[in-house]
Structure 1
Amino acid sequence: MGGTTPEQDEVRMIETGSNPTRFARGWHCLGLADTFRDGRPHEVKAFGQTAVVFARRDGTIHMIDAFCRHMGGNLARGAVKGDEIACPFHDWRWNGEGRCVGVPYARRVPLRARTTAWITMERNGLLFAWNDPQGNPPPPDVTIPEIEGYGTDRWSEWSWKSYLVEGAHCREIVDNVVDMAHFFYVHYQIPRYFKNVFEGHVASQYMRSTGRDDIKTGVQMDLPDAVTRSEASYYGPSFMLDTIWTESDGDVVEAKLVNCHYPITPDSFLLQYGIVVEKKPGMPDEQAQVMAQTFIDGLEVQFLQDVEIWKHKSRIDNPLLTEEDGPVYQLRRWYQQFYVDVEDVTPEMVRRFEFEVDCDHAIATWEAESREAAARAANAPA
């Protein structure tokens, strides 16, 4: 009677796998577009390469390989002259399409004076670059949605932050889409409802949560009895747009959160996040901006909590799961579509998939834990 089976006695080994050397196909957000319109070249390390980003006189922003095909000068150390970027070494002029259009000291430009150029796009005040190892242009249906009313008095300006993450692949952050339980242990929230939907190039997370009574961090702005409702979707491999409604004392604050990244090397990426807050009627711009900054400061706490986990965890290709852990393997199957040739994308990677986590047992356990912690704190000596 009793005892264990051979399967139960077998030690579970972690399969670490290895980070892909290929960089994901899709739109990647480089940051706030206006930061690149200062008349100077900007060096961007992304997709295993070094690029230069610059704006033409009409404000159009371009991204090309940073190293001049003449003698290897770094164009990001050069200067924007008119509509071209000029190499600091010999003043060769390169346009936004990656063609050399002038060599001031020479009669003619070499026929093969062509370099790598990325397709760029502006949306919602943000700059995006399209990466595709096969060199294909973006399909019309694979794009970034517009925020309704962005650029009008409806929204505050972006509050924006970035953080370099080293020693981890960007799959770590995408895994969070399905990770209901980590919100309690890492971000100090109690998920009350949690559902995932994957379809095509979009992976969505629907969540309703409340803050933990025993911990106050500013993540939920420490509003009394605050309830947060979130509808977040990854549009491709690296850009999440999240609509967040925070309800407290009968008032609702709506915000748009961007959680995005772009890969630098197979084991490093630039994490970026920003937020705009909807202005209430009669709300001064300064007040809306203070509210947005309060949100972003709280979100910084959350993101840095994630980073601290990633810095010390193992990569794991065979996670051992309970049903409350959500559809980790299905999410990774969806994510794989961005790392294979378009001809190799399978129906299983893009077909619609839905999964709702039953949060009841977790809520009961967490609330009991929170009450015990609060009781210990109340009885602790002053």
Structure 2
Amino acid sequence: MNTLAAVNIDAELAPRFGRGWHCLGEAASYRDGQLHTLNIFGTRLLAFATSDGQISVIDAHCQHMGADLSRGTLENDRVVCPFHHWQYDASGKCVEIPYCKRIPPKAKNRKWLTCIENNLLFIWNNPEGKAPAEGVVIPHLPEQDSGEWLHDWHLDKLVIETNPRELVDNLVDAQHFGPVHGTPTKYFANIFDGHIAQQIFHGDSESLGGDLVAESAYYGPATHITRMRAVFEGMEIHSILLNCHVPITANSFELRFGCMVKKIPGWSEEQNRAMALDYVERTRDSFYQDVDIWAHKIRVNNPVLAEGDGPVYQLREWYGQFFMDEADVPATLRERREIVTVAQH
């Protein structure tokens, strides 16, 4: 390979990870009294909950001699290092050394900013170390508070060996729905507005129902939420899809996919749960058709596009803002832009 080309590729794929909130799954799964190893953002982190249910995420390696704290134990709300039994509290600070009374001031691991929304745990990543700007939040889903919905997310987790941008590109891909999902596009539009990028899709699906309307948005670079409705077997089915990822390296990421479904009025709890499980399985099958594509495609930085393909380059410009310092983000990316790729006939 040409040396200059190799340098350019390395620079482009340098492991700077996107600024934003990243989903780590259901919060309840961390409240089990165990230490949870997180291999994300090119490093290793440790997640655990104290006895009052508060979840902490800290750097996983001991400041003393580098042991992996996630292989230690959780005792009295403290993480005990497996190497020399240094003890760290939920703030990441070493609070006890069994053979020494004086604790070195630098014996403190970074504590990562987290939040819990919609029963999900999120972690904030920013290479500059800054907190989220005003309004940069994961939106609360009012459906989580409604008795009309089944609140189980039915989350799947898997690892995809590619750059996360391959996943995000789907937000503007107007023409894959027919070939991949058997759901030809009848209307397709995108809206870019600050840190949020939206997709509006209308089509018909044999597996998910006719008159399908899917309105979705990325909130930052990694958390994608879709509200969907369709007529399935004579009933209007409402669902919410969660599609989120956390980078492991520059070319691999953890993918979490989940779905929750609205109850059918007049049906029993048992009937609704059976319906929801069936519909979740259908959405999972549809989503995994995309996963198979991502797992085997290559990265194309300058794709040759045809009319009707969707605003791929505009999306990548929007996505790029999360990989630069906030002060360098062009003011134009804060302006609302709406692009209709396929108009309703």
Per the normalisation by structure 2, the TM-score is 0.92
Match of 1:122 in 2: 116
2:179 is the counterpart of 1:195: no
Equivalent-residue separation in structure 2 for 1:310 and 1:20 (angstroms):
20
Equivalent-residue separation in structure 2 for 1:356 and 1:257 (angstroms):
23
- The structure 1 residue matched to 2:50, chosen from 52, 56, 78, is 56
- The structure 1 residue matched to 2:270, chosen from 262, 282, 286, is 286
Match of 1:10 in 2: none
Give CA deviations for 1:90-139 in whole Å, capped at 9, x if unaligned.
Answer: 22221222211222332121111111221010000100000000000112
Give CA deviations for 1:247-283 in whole Å, capped at 9, x if unaligned.
Answer: 2465211111111001000000011110111123344
Match of 2:3 in 1: none
Paired residue secondary structure (1:117):
coil
Give CA deviations for 1:185-240 in whole Å, capped at 9, x if unaligned.
Answer: 1122112111100101000001111025xxxxxx41xx5xx221111000000001
2:139 is the counterpart of 1:155: no
347-356 or 177-186: bigger deviation: 347-356
261-270 or 82-91: bigger deviation: 82-91
Match of 1:273 in 2: 257
Equivalent-residue separation in structure 1 for 2:105 and 2:236 (angstroms):
60
Paired residue secondary structure (2:79):
strand
2:297 is the counterpart of 1:302: no
Amino acid at match of 2:230: T
Equivalent-residue separation in structure 2 for 1:31 and 1:324 (angstroms):
35
Equivalent-residue separation in structure 1 for 2:35 and 2:230 (angstroms):
40
Structure 1 residues 69 and 320, CA gap change in structure 2 (3 angstroms): same
Structure 2 counterparts to residues 19-34 of structure 1, below 5 A:
19-34=13-28
Shift of 1:79: 1.7
Structure 1 residues 295 and 108, CA gap change in structure 2 (3 angstroms): farther
Amino acid at match of 1:34: A
CA contact (8 A) 1:29 1:262 kept: yes
2:40 is the counterpart of 1:40: no
Number of residue equivalences: 335
Match of 1:227 in 2: 211
2:300 is the counterpart of 1:316: yes
Shift of 1:309: 1.9
Amino acid at match of 1:137: A
Unaligned runs of 5+ in 2: 1-7
Amino acid at match of 1:270: E
Amino acid at match of 2:40: A
Equivalent-residue separation in structure 2 for 1:283 and 1:95 (angstroms):
48
Match of 1:4 in 2: none
Match of 1:352 in 2: 336
Equivalent-residue separation in structure 1 for 2:118 and 2:271 (angstroms):
21
Equivalent-residue separation in structure 1 for 2:280 and 2:262 (angstroms):
14
Cα-Cα RMSD: 1.9
CA contact (8 A) 2:174 2:342 kept: no
Equivalent-residue separation in structure 2 for 1:292 and 1:47 (angstroms):
34
Shift of 1:151: 4.4
Amino acid at match of 1:94: Y
297-306 or 312-321: bigger deviation: 297-306
Structure 2 counterparts to residues 72-83 of structure 1, below 5 A:
72-83=66-77
Match of 2:65 in 1: 71
CA contact (8 A) 2:185 2:342 kept: no
227-236 or 299-308: bigger deviation: 299-308
CA contact (8 A) 2:186 2:342 kept: no
Amino acid at match of 2:67: G
CA contact (8 A) 1:324 1:359 kept: no
Give CA deviations for 1:282-325 in whole Å, capped at 9, x if unaligned.
Answer: 44333333333223322332333223222332211111112200
Unaligned runs of 5+ in 1: 1-15, 213-218, 364-382
Amino acid at match of 1:61: I
2:230 is the counterpart of 1:236: no
Paired residue secondary structure (1:198):
strand
Larger CA Rg, structure 1 vs 2:
1
Paired residue secondary structure (1:287):
helix
Amino acid at match of 1:110: P
Match of 1:216 in 2: none
Give CA deviations for 1:33-72 in whole Å, capped at 9, x if unaligned.
Answer: 1111100000011100111100011111111111111122
CA contact (8 A) 1:124 1:151 kept: no
Equivalent-residue separation in structure 2 for 1:138 and 1:121 (angstroms):
12
Equivalent-residue separation in structure 2 for 1:19 and 1:290 (angstroms):
44
Amino acid at match of 2:92: G
CA contact (8 A) 1:194 1:206 kept: yes
Amino acid at match of 2:276: A
Q: Quote the sequence identity (%).
A: 41
Paired residue secondary structure (2:156):
strand
Structure 1 residues 91 and 153, CA gap change in structure 2 (3 angstroms): farther
CA contact (8 A) 1:31 1:272 kept: yes
Match of 2:87 in 1: 93
Per the normalisation by structure 1, the TM-score is 0.83
